Amino acid sequence: MDRELHGRLDELQRHPYPHYERARRADGLTYVAELDAWLVARDADVREVLRRPEDFSSGNALIPDVLPPPAALAVLGGGFGGRPVVVTADGALHQQLRAPIVRGLSPARVAAALPYAAERAAALVDAFVKDGHVELMSAYAGKLPGEVIGRIVGLDPADVPAVVHGGRRAEELLFRPLEEDEQVAAAEDVVAMQHILDRYARERHAEPREDLCTELVTSVVGEGEGEGELTLEHRHELVAHLQNLLIAGHLTTTALIGTTVLHLLRHPGQWELLCAEPGRIPAAVEEAARYDGALQGFRRITTGPVTLSGTELPAGATLFVAFGAANRDSARHPRPDEFDITRPPGRHLAFGLGVHSCPGSQLAREQLRLTLEELTRRLPGLRLADDRPVTMRPTMIHRSPQALNLTW
């Protein structure tokens, strides 16, 4: 993708809602050149696509915007992964890949992780509560979700920063236009993360534990084969699986924490209401996810000729299925462009729908709840720093402030 087109794509991704509104008003679907896809923007159409995975395949869900140069690809060749993952799989393979993640993120497993999550949330706030100011993305939002999903997967806390960093670098490498030396450096960070994850796969195969990493190893290698060989192919599969799970488990929740706090503080009356009535926190979580979700949407590709919203599409047509657009559709949500934590709960699509709905949605909600409980209780005077305008990151999959400078 050339720099000019990437610049237009960045602008669209930073400010997608006007594009969504035009697409909802148009007859049929709208083709958006920057996305190289048909934009699916109405709530009813998004739901139809998500309910028909046999007609709208997920095979292209994570197509990168940038193809790394040969030097970076050579570095990546020394790593692991590159195998099907749950987000890009269909049918029986998708069910097979998803099953251990659903078990590993069961309500019981999430509940068991909450005391640790609460302890870490409090400790992270302790580190800046006396300062009078904080950049929340780096000091808090970028740390808590990695520590929590790391705990559930079974990572040693000492390994979490490198794994989180590797996940961020993977996103940069595939979706940002970097200079070649920076692409090579990013690839090196990704490969370093992959070697850490490979070590965990080998360790859990040799000595199983009660954690999600062991659950994944068992699902790939099979039950009762602890003494059997963990093949190189198994290791590639497991690293791909772990990398996808960890990135989904921390980058999306990091983003959601940032956008939630941003919109609450942009609406001081609602922040004050939340501080006065903390029982409204679960509703505030749902409204923030609806109003400006971290995951704005995913690509899909048609498996055969299909008609959607009156638009005839051939086999192989690319769609961008915009959850964020559906969540601002007035046909489903009255006053959709208003941020209102007192609105009656509605069925939004921030965590998807159907077979590909987010298996970590409960974990994300709980971390957001803990965050708002902590901040409203300890820093009720929180406000946006007047001199530091907020810029959104140019992405459709981890939409959040690039930095969030707060004072009190």
Predicted confidence (pLDDT) per residue in 328-337, tens digit: 999 999 999 9
Tell me what pLDDT residue 75 has: 96
Tell me what pLDDT residue 227 has: 53
Query: Is residue 1 very low, low, confident or very high in pLDDT (cuts 50, 70, 90)?
Result: low
Contact between residue 301 and residue 319 where contact means Cβ atoms under 8 Å apart: yes
Tell me what pLDDT residue 226 has: 47
Contact between residue 76 and residue 351 where contact means Cβ atoms under 8 Å apart: no
Contact between residue 187 and residue 75 where contact means Cβ atoms under 8 Å apart: yes
Predicted confidence (pLDDT) per residue in 140-190, tens digit: 999 999 999 999 999 999 999 999 999 999 999 988 888 999 999 999 999
Tell me what pLDDT residue 64 has: 85
In this structure, what token pair is assigned to residue 158? Answer: 């000492």
Strand 133-135 and strand 297-302: pairing? unpaired
User: Which run of H or E residues covers position 311?
Assistant: strand 311-313
- What is d(CA 103, CA 259) in angstroms, rounded to the nearest whole number? 29
Residue from 129, 157, 133, 130 nearest 143 by CA: 157
Tell me what pLDDT residue 5 has: 78
Tell me what pLDDT residue 184 has: 96
Tell me what pLDDT residue 7 has: 85
Residue from 311, 42, 75, 60 nearest 186 by CA: 75
Looking at residue 392, what DSSP letter applies?
A: B
Q: What is the CA radius of gyration of the chain?
A: 21
Higher pLDDT, 222 or 407: 407
Residue from 92, 42, 26, 39 nearest 298 by CA: 39
User: Percentage of the chain surpassing pLDDT 70?
Assistant: 98
Predicted confidence (pLDDT) per residue in 364-402, tens digit: 999 999 999 999 999 999 999 988 889 999 998 899 999
Tell me what pLDDT residue 83 has: 87
Tell me what pLDDT residue 223 has: 63
Residue from 169, 262, 164, 156 nearest 203 by CA: 156
Task: Kindly tell me if the per-residue pLDDT of 236 is higher than 50.
Answer: yes
Looking at residue 249, what DSSP letter applies?
A: H
Contact between residue 49 and residue 319 where contact means Cβ atoms under 8 Å apart: yes
Residue from 43, 40, 44, 42 nearest 30 by CA: 40
- What is d(CA 237, CA 234) in angstroms, rounded to the nearest whole number? 5
Q: Once rounded to an integer, what is the mean pLDDT over residues 265-285?
A: 97
Predicted confidence (pLDDT) per residue in 107-140, tens digit: 999 999 999 999 999 999 999 999 999 999 999 9
Predicted confidence (pLDDT) per residue in 48-67, tens digit: 999 999 999 999 888 888 88
In this structure, what token pair is assigned to residue 201? Answer: 């796969």
CB atoms within 10 A of CB 113: 18
Query: Is residue 239 very low, low, confident or very high in pLDDT (cuts 50, 70, 90)?
Result: very high
Q: Crossing angle of helices 212-221/232-266, nearest 10°?
A: 140
Task: Kindly tell me if the per-residue pLDDT of 225 is higher than 50.
Answer: no
User: How far is CA 147 from its chain centroid?
Assistant: 15
Task: Kindly tell me if the per-residue pLDDT of 294 is higher than 60.
Answer: yes
Strand 133-135 and strand 56-57: pairing? unpaired
What is the average pLDDT score of the chain? 94
Q: Which residues lie closer than 8 Å to 156 by C-beta, 6 or more apart?
A: none
Residue from 78, 338, 114, 87 nearest 187 by CA: 78
Task: Kindly tell me if the per-residue pLDDT of 228 is higher than 70.
Answer: no
Domains and CATH numbers, the chain: 3-407 (1.10.630.10)
